[in-house]
């Protein structure tokens, strides 16, 4: 099992994001990835606009090749699929989710902290051409209900166990099938937790810049832990927390935060700012926000990965300032992780900043394991 040690960080650093045609991609721990790259890569020095780039977690080599012909990718010009927004009643709570696609393997897209299912708006229509795609608002986020955490007394409600249970129930009640979990940041912990709790429901997990939870109590020195608890109590139980939330929940602050975590800041559009901000102004959002940033317990990714039975692929935006790739690489060494893919010149939210890199990665990962499952079923 891999070990992941890291230096303690100061309590001032908040570890969260505020927040087709099949490509010729092969992944293994013995071979290089062949990832077909679109023309956007031409603006990066050292890359050919008509080529692909080879990545491997085991080799620093980079190679180049040619794109398929326009005829080979003609199917990508199919009309856009319709994305529907729906409400699911989960244990008396209204949960918003989005759905598109009527055939193929099921995918459930899971957002990070402060975000919602709209953070996958650039992925759903593309992936839905050959998959059944669902994007869910975790309870407490987006346009799902936001129950006040205080009503649960001493018991914590906004935990990875709660969200993992929500995700598994969603697969049973709505998807009505096993699914691949495609996750960003904190959503990666949710996907892993769900897969550990109900392994028969998850066919595979893709983790995009999973949160390393650097403010977890276990990652702090013993002498810093009382300070962290005092800071959390200050935020949760005084007006300081609400004031802090008000300073964050503005268009200017959201834009500034997004510009920190997106390497290509041209992708931080007014549309994106509004998609992130508006659900955060819903009643109850402030209590959820404060509850989660004071949540320094629960599982760590290095605790969940050894328990996962399904294949895991990790993709990492190499320019992520919040979850440095130097720390992230260690997670590619777990037995459950089939490979660690570097996404060049991309920040913390690759699915939104660089969907033209992420969507083919998802398609290939799912196609390979869906085909493997089908061949096993046929053989038995």
Closest CA to 300 of 230, 362, 220: 220
* pTM passes above 0.75: yes
The rounded distance, in Å, linking the Cα atoms of 111 and 88 is 17
Higher pLDDT, 1 or 287: 287
Cα 50 to its chain centre, rounded Å, is 29
Alpha helices by DSSP H, listed for 37-155, are 124-127
Summarised one tens digit per residue, pLDDT across range 109-151 is 999 989 999 999 999 999 999 999 999 999 999 999 999 998 8
Summarised one tens digit per residue, pLDDT across range 245-264 is 888 899 999 999 999 999 99
The rounded distance, in Å, linking the Cα atoms of 134 and 128 is 9
Closest CA to 108 of 376, 366, 356: 366
The rounded distance, in Å, linking the Cα atoms of 21 and 130 is 9
SS3 content of the chain, % helix, strand, coil (to 5): 45, 15, 40
- State the pLDDT confidence band at 223, using cuts at 50, 70 and 90: confident
Summarised one tens digit per residue, pLDDT across range 258-297 is 999 999 999 999 999 999 999 999 999 999 988 877 776 7
Closest CA to 279 of 80, 141, 105: 141
Rounded average pLDDT over 84-104: 97
pLDDT reported for residue 158: 92
CATH architecture of 84-220+297-378: 3-Layer(aba) Sandwich (3.40)
The rounded distance, in Å, linking the Cα atoms of 53 and 68 is 14
How many CB atoms lie under 10 A from the CB of residue 342?
Answer: 22
Higher pLDDT, 2 or 96: 96
Per-residue H/E/C for 258-298: HHHHCCCHHHCCHHHHHHHHHHHCCCCHHHHHHHHHCCCCC
Higher pLDDT, 216 or 35: 216
Residue with tokens 């959002």: 285
Cα 370 to its chain centre, rounded Å, is 21
Rounded average pLDDT over 55-70: 38
Summarised one tens digit per residue, pLDDT across range 339-353 is 999 999 999 999 999
Higher pLDDT, 154 or 107: 107
Annotated domain spans of the chain: 84-220+297-378
pLDDT > 70: what percent of the chain?
Answer: 76
- Coil vs helix vs strand at 100: strand
The rounded distance, in Å, linking the Cα atoms of 174 and 184 is 21
pLDDT reported for residue 319: 97
Residue 181: which residues within 8 A CB-CB, separation 6 or more? Answer: 107, 108, 110, 167, 191, 194, 195, 202, 204, 205, 206
pLDDT reported for residue 145: 97
Residue 321 is given by DSSP the state: S
The rounded distance, in Å, linking the Cα atoms of 9 and 200 is 37
Closest CA to 183 of 202, 199, 162, 169: 202
pLDDT at 47 > cutoff 50? no
Rounded average pLDDT over 49-78: 39
- State the pLDDT confidence band at 2, using cuts at 50, 70 and 90: very low
Higher pLDDT, 348 or 43: 348
The rounded distance, in Å, linking the Cα atoms of 117 and 187 is 11
């Amino acid at each position: 099992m891999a070990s992941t040690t890291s230096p303690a960080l100061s309590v001032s650093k908040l570890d969260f994001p505020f927040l087709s045609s099949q490509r010729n991609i092969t992944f293994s721990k013995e071979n290089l990835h062949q990832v077909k790259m679109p023309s956007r890569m031409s603006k990066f020095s050292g890359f050919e606009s008509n080529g692909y780039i080879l990545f491997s977690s085991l080799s620093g080599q980079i190679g180049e090749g040619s794109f398929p012909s326009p005829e080979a990718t003609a199917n990508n010009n199919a009309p856009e699929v319709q994305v529907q927004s729906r409400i699911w009643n989960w244990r008396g709570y209204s949960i918003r989710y989005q759905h598109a696609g009527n055939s193929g393997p099921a995918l459930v897209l899971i957002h990070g902290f402060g975000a919602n299912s709209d953070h996958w708006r650039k992925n759903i229509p593309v992936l839905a051409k050959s998959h059944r795609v669902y994007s869910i608002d975790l309870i407490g986020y987006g346009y799902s209900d936001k129950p006040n955490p205080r009503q649960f007394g001493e018991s914590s409600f906004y935990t990875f166990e709660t969200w993992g249970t929500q995700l598994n129930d969603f697969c049973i009640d709505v998807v009505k099938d096993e699914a691949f979990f495609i996750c960003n940041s904190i959503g990666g912990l949710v996907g892993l937790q769900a897969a550990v709790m109900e392994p028969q429901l998850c066919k595979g997990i893709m983790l995009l810049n999973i949160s390393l939870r650097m403010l977890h109590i276990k990652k702090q020195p013993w002498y810093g832990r009382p300070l962290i608890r005092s800071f959390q109590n200050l935020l949760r139980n005084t007006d300081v927390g609400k004031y802090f939330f008000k300073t964050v929940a503005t268009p200017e602050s959201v834009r500034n935060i997004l510009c920190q975590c997106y390497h290509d800041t041209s992708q931080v559009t007014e549309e994106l700012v509004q998609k992130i901000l508006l659900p955060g102004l819903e009643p109850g959002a402030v209590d959820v926000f404060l509850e989660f940033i004071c949540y320094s317990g629960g599982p760590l990714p290095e605790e969940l990965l050894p328990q996962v039975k399904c294949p895991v692929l990790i993709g990492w935006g190499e320019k992520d300032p919040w979850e440095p790739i130097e720390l992230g690489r260690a997670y590619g060494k777990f037995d459950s992780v089939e490979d660690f893919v570097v996404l060049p010149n991309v920040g913390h939210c690759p699915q939104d900043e660089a969907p033209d890199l992420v969507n083919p990665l998802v398609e290939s990962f799912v196609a390979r394991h869906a085909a493997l499952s089908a061949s096993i079923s046929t053989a038995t």
